Each structure stands twice: as structure tokens, then as C-alpha cells.
Amino acid sequence: MLLALVLLPLAFAGLAFMSKSNETRPWLLPIGAGVHLGITAIVLFGRQSLFQGTYLGLDPLNRLVLGFISVLFFLCSVYAKGYLALRPNQPARLFTASLFVFLGMLSLSVLAQHLGLMWVAVESCTLSSAPLLYFNQNRRSLEATWKYLLIGSVGIALALLGSYFLSYSALHGGMSTSLFFKDLVREAPYLSQPWLRAAFVVLFVGYGTKMGLAPMHSWKPDAYGEAPGLVGALLAGGLTTSAFLAVLRFFQICNDAGDAVYARKIMIVIGLLSMAVAAVFMVRQRDYKRMLAYSSVEHMGILILGVSLGGLGLYGSLLHAINNGLAKGVLFLAAANIHRAYGSKRVEDVRGAIRRLPATGALFLAGFFAITGSPPFGLFISEFTILRAAIAGGHVGVAITFLTLLFIIFVGMSATVLSIVQGEPSQKALSSKHKEGFTTVAPIMAFLGLVLILGVYVPPSLSAALSKAVAFIEMKP
């Protein structure tokens, strides 16, 4: 069943690539994503003992991420059907196939129980998503794709070097050089501390580059700014979450080795730095898609900050990863609708979106309140949980800095968003033939509905799964 989650998308990728009809090919996306979601439900709600393998397996941590990415891709695939229908003259063979390969490799990175296999899967996610960034085939998208691949390659190379360091820490400690996570966790107390610390730093920088943490974030504004909206949603909610999962696995090894304090100090600094960088660039931002990229940098910092606080903070961080991905789905897809209607990403060219596109404009405004942690949306709960953890842990300075940066980002982002949704649309926008359709609005409403539900009510099953994941990460061998 776990292998099917990897091979099934690859099979659909082959079908999409061989299909000769540009009209029927997009239908494969929601069909394939729906089957993937169904298998994911069977895996998650079936007997867990049936889904434990050597290289692929379920544990309390990746169970959370697997269900989330499957829902994320399904909703984006429904949107993709409507998006591709609006661009009938654009060849979608490579685009559709690449989406399925991305889903397969994303599933592999989440399910991998071996450090080397996870490394290959994360890099495969990057390579398969490159054609998605270049879909518009213009100079700016080519530049963004090149920067995405170049910086991502540096990050994954550092991750490989960190993997070697981690392996050598076991060898130096007199242990076997197994790269299975269960072996590394079991042998963590015996790993060589200097080599383990060096491994964590290099691995954190490597996979932090994939997350888009500052100062390794420079690929994000260009990539998110030039990619189609649904690709931005998948990168912001999917690729970054898989990289975050990798960081959590290495933090678990440090924690079991008794060196969590060292890792947490680094995480606090990088987490607050990422939020600060986002705050600086989001004030008076004139490109609303680049604004969403810096919002992603901010929330990656929040995730890392929550992990650094441990316990309740880690619980809030895991919940925040889900909330952030759902809210990003709202904003990126709504921004894509606005971009098509106005033909511009510049704030000065976009006015009165709520008049020109009533449903999309309202959803974009609601998405802004959701992503900035306003009640009653889910991000308010997760951010408040992280704040509680900071205060309870005696990190008053961290809590004050956290609140200050959140306030600056709220003010800076509100100026851009309100400028877009308010006012009168231009004659050029009114004369645009683009109209809202069911497939381009319903997925956005679904994303918003989910993040709203998590702000009002966290299901007991989800809360229990979060608690098990926290216990799994912080459990001593």
C-alpha cells in the first residue's frame, strides 16, 4: 500500500505524457489525485502494523504529513483542471506529467525511513517541479527556474555532506553506519558529539534551504512570483513541509543523543531571523505574489521557532505546518485568479478585486486574515500555542520579538492586500474575458473551510495524532 502511493502517481504521469488529447489530459489530475487520497485514507485509518517496512513505513510523525499533502494535492488538482481549461493553447503534457511525478516523489520523501532514500526523494521533488516553474516559458520564468535549481542544488549538496557527517559520527562512536532512522535514533546516545553537531548544522542549512529559511531563502521570491498559482501552493505547502519533516528527523536524533539544547539555540536564531527578513521585505511590497513568498519565509521561521521551544511549542509547530499549507492554498490560488483577470502582479495595476471577482476577492481577503493569525482561523490557534510555549519556558524576549514581528508583518501585508481588494477596477480589468468558474473557486473555498474549522475545532483524532508525534520526536531511547 505504501509503495502504491509512490508508484501510482508515476503511472498516471506516464498516462498523461502519452495522452495525445490536450482536452482530456487535465482530467487525469483530479482522478489520479482522488485515487491517491483514497489509498492514503486506507493507509492512515487501516491497521498500522500492515504498513511497516524497511525503506518505507509509517510512524506518528509522517502520518500527519502524508494525509496533509494528499489533501493539498487533491484540491490543487481540481483547480488545475479549471486552470488548464483556460489555457487550451498551452501544451500541458509535461506540466501534467511533472505534477504527478512531484506527488510521487513527495510521497516517497514523507514515507522514507532511510536517510539516503529521503535525500534522493527530496531532490527528485525539486527536479520534477522545475518544469512547473517554467510553464509560462518567458525570460523571467526561465531566470526563476534557474535560480531555483541552482540554490536548491547547493542546499541538497550540503544535506548530502551532512549525511556523511552523521554516518561518520556513528562510525567514530564505534557503532554501525546504518542510515535507517530507527537505527540512528536507537544509537543516538553513542554518536560522536562533535561530528553529530557538525552534521546537524550542515543538514539544517541544507534542508533549511529547501524550506526557504533566511538567509537561504533567495530562491523563493522569484520561484513563487513566476510560477503558476497552483504550483506556488504545492511548493509552499508540499515541498517545504517535506523539508521540514527532514529537519524534524534530525532534531529527533539530536534530542535522543542528549544534545537538543545545542540544536534549539540555532533554531531560535534562524526562526526569528526568517521572520525578521520577511517583515522587512513585506512592508510596502509592490508585487503581491512575491509578498506571498516572503509570507512563506515568515511561516517557515515560525515552524522552526516552535520546534526550538519543545513540548507545547512543538505541538503548535506541527499544527501550524498544516494550517499554513491550507492558508497558502487559499492565497496562491486566489492570487492566480486575480493575476489572470488583471494581467499584472503589480499592486498599482490591481484595484477593486472584490468588485471584479467577487468570490475570489473575498477569499483573498479572508486568506489574508487567516495567514496573519487572526481569529477564528487555525493559524491563530497554532501561533498562540507557540507563544504560550515561549512564555511558559521563560523565553520572554523571544515571545516579545515574536509578537512584534507578527504585528509588523500584519501591518505591512494589510497595506498590500487592502489596496488590491478595495477601490474601482480599471477599464482594462473590466474588459478582461476571464470569469470565475466552479473549479477555480471551489478548491479555494475548501482550503478556507478547512483552515476555519481548525480555528474553531481541532478534532480529537488530530489532536491525539499531534500529541503522539510530539512524544515520538522527544521520546528518549
pLDDT at 441 over 80: yes
**Averaged pLDDT, 399-415:** 96
pLDDT at 432 over 90: no
Most confident of 136-145, 406-415, 431-440: 406-415
Q: Chain-wide mean pLDDT for the chain?
A: 92
Rg value, the chain, Cα? 21
The amino acid present at 155, given as its one-letter code, is: G
Question: What values do phi and psi take at 346, rounded to 5?
Answer: -80, 135
Instruction: Tell which residue, 151, 180, 326, has the closest CA to residue 253.
Output: 180
pLDDT value at residue 284: 83
pLDDT value at residue 382: 97
Domain count along the chain: 1
pLDDT at 48 over 60: no
**Averaged pLDDT, 217-237:** 94
More confident site: 19 or 37: 37
Integer CA distances (angstroms), 78 to 72, 291, 402, 441, in order: 10, 25, 36, 10
More confident site: 36 or 136: 36
Domain residues for the domain of 242 are 2-474
Q: Are 119 and 155 in contact (CB under 8 A)?
A: no
pLDDT at 435 over 90: no
pLDDT at 301 over 90: yes
pLDDT above 90 covers what percent of the chain? 81
pLDDT at 51 over 80: no
**pLDDT per residue over 320-372, tens digit each?**
999 999 999 999 999 999 999 998 899 999 999 999 999 999 999 999 999 99
Q: Would you tell me how many other CB atoms lie within 10 Å of the CB of residue 189?
A: 14
pLDDT value at residue 328: 96
Reported confidence tier of residue 426, pLDDT bands at 50, 70, 90: confident
pLDDT value at residue 20: 80
Reported confidence tier of residue 476, pLDDT bands at 50, 70, 90: low
Reported confidence tier of residue 26, pLDDT bands at 50, 70, 90: confident
pLDDT value at residue 431: 81
pLDDT value at residue 357: 94
**pLDDT per residue over 137-184, tens digit each?**
889 999 999 999 999 999 999 999 999 999 999 888 777 778 899 999
Spatial separation of the C-alpha atoms in residues 320 and 240, rounded to whole Å: 13
pLDDT at 266 over 60: yes
Reported confidence tier of residue 53, pLDDT bands at 50, 70, 90: low
The amino acid present at 3, given as its one-letter code, is: L
Reported confidence tier of residue 47, pLDDT bands at 50, 70, 90: low
pLDDT at 220 over 70: yes
Q: Are 151 and 209 in contact (CB under 8 A)?
A: yes
pTM above 0.85, yes or no: yes
Spatial separation of the C-alpha atoms in residues 371 and 379, rounded to whole Å: 7
**pLDDT per residue over 199-209, tens digit each?**
999 999 999 99
**Averaged pLDDT, 52-77:** 91
Instruction: Tell which residue, 242, 250, 245, has the closest CA to residue 166.
Output: 250
**Averaged pLDDT, 276-304:** 94
